[in-house]
């Protein structure tokens, strides 16, 4: 039995041969505030029937197993999928996972590992999907964006993505752009406006629509539309109880706990 975890990161490829992809776009979404990026990427991977390229394990993921809805457990991991996009000139590569690294150092190393794989697959462009937290409930969330270079800023502008001019982007959404940049990969990040209080499938829907416009791909949106409507209903019911569109944190958190039942904690 060889050690799997001495090296901090272990990518297990589904096949010994890399697929031949045409200058793919790497699209990334992770669990984070409001699950905005995660719900969006899960939907598009599902609709496009992404093929698994690799499981990525790491000692930097929380030391936990995830319980699947079958009752089966698995170590936390990230997963790379690819999709042959015959209608367009770029194939697609998707990166998502159960968690982001807990170790700051290994977050850099994981970013570097992903960029290495991306470069081997001839990726030239990265798009990360995240959340822009405002503390306010909105029905039509705005989409904000940043880029690694001026071409990216122009691209964002041409799709009416709003500009941000200060602050920072933490986690894999940021680190992949930054490490990509020092390795000559261009990237943009699309950030969906969200309150920060609830799982926000509505923000996910808006961000995914923007992504699909940019990459020129159409998919069925029904499942995500349905979840987005549930988010809007949840928000409305919270607002009715609170009676204020810009409530205090404590008020909202109390309401959210009543509306979103917690699961049992296991140790």
Binding to its own copies (CB under 8 A): which residues in 27-46? 32-33
51 close to 81: Cβ distance less than 8 angstroms = yes
Residue for token pair 């969906």: 192
Sign of CA dihedral 106, 57, 31, 209: positive
Q: What's the rounded Cα separation, in Å, for the pair 129 and 195?
A: 16
**Residue 254 interacts with its own copies (CB under 8 A): yes or no:** no
197 close to 241: Cβ distance less than 8 angstroms = no
3-class DSSP assignment, residue 187: strand
**Residue 214 interacts with its own copies (CB under 8 A): yes or no:** no
3-class DSSP assignment, residue 241: helix
**Residue 147 interacts with its own copies (CB under 8 A): yes or no:** yes
**Residue 60 interacts with its own copies (CB under 8 A): yes or no:** yes
Lookup: tokens for 12? 């297990």
**Residue 79 interacts with its own copies (CB under 8 A): yes or no:** no
We find the least distance from the C-beta atom of residue 133 to its own copies, in angstroms, to be 4
**Residue 266 interacts with its own copies (CB under 8 A): yes or no:** yes
Q: What is the largest CA-CA distance in the chain?
A: 60
We find the least distance from the C-beta atom of residue 202 to its own copies, in angstroms, to be 17
Smaller CB distance to its own copies: residue 57 or 159?
Answer: 57
Q: What's the rounded Cα separation, in Å, for the pair 128 and 140?
A: 20
Residues of span 167-206 touching its own copies by CB under 8 A: 167-171, 173-175, 177-179, 181-183, 189, 191, 196
Indicate the Cα dihedral angle 198, 199, 204, 205, nearest 10°. -90
Smaller CB distance to its own copies: residue 65 or 233?
Answer: 65
We find the least distance from the C-beta atom of residue 171 to its own copies, in angstroms, to be 6
Judged by CB under 8 A, the stretch of 20-28, 57-65, 79-87, 228-236 that binds its own copies is 57-65
Smaller CB distance to its own copies: residue 115 or 217?
Answer: 115
Plot region of 23 (φ>0 → left; ψ -120 to 50 → alpha; else → beta) = left
Judged by CB under 8 A, the stretch of 13-21, 159-167, 226-234, 244-252 that binds its own copies is 159-167
User: What is the C-alpha radius of gyration for the chain, rounded to an integer number of angstroms?
Assistant: 19
We find the least distance from the C-beta atom of residue 64 to its own copies, in angstroms, to be 4
Judged by CB under 8 A, the stretch of 41-49, 55-63, 87-95, 198-206 that binds its own copies is 55-63
């Amino acid at each position: 039995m060889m050690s799997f975890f001495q090296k901090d990161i272990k990518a297990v490829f589904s096949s010994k041969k890399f697929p031949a992809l045409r200058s793919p776009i790497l699209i990334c979404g992770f669990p984070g505030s409001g699950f905005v990026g995660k719900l969006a990427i899960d939907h598009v991977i599902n609709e496009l029937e992404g093929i698994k390229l690799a499981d990525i394990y790491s000692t930097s993921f929380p030391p936990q197993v995830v319980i699947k809805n079958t009752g089966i457990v698995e170590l936390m991991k990230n997963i790379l999928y690819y999709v042959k996009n015959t209608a367009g000139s770029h194939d697609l590569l998707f990166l998502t996972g159960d968690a982001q690294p807990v170790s700051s150092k290994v977050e850099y190393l994981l970013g570097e590992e992903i960029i290495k794989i991306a470069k081997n697959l001839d990726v030239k462009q990265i798009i990360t999907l995240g959340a822009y937290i405002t503390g306010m409930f909105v029905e039509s969330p705005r989409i904000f964006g940043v880029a690694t270079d001026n071409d990216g800023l122009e691209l964002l502008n041409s799709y009416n993505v709003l500009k941000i001019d200060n602050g920072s982007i933490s986690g894999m959404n940021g680190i992949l752009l930054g490490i990509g940049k020092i390795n000559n990969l261009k990237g943009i990040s699309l950030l969906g406006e969200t309150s920060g209080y609830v799982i926000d499938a509505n923000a996910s829907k808006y961000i995914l629509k923007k992504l699909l416009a940019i990459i020129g791909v159409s998919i069925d949106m029904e499942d995500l539309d349905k979840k987005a409507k549930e988010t809007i209903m949840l928000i409305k019911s919270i607002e009715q109880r609170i009676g204020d569109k810009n409530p205090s944190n404590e008020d909202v958190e109390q309401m959210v706990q009543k509306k979103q039942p917690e699961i049992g904690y296991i140790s």
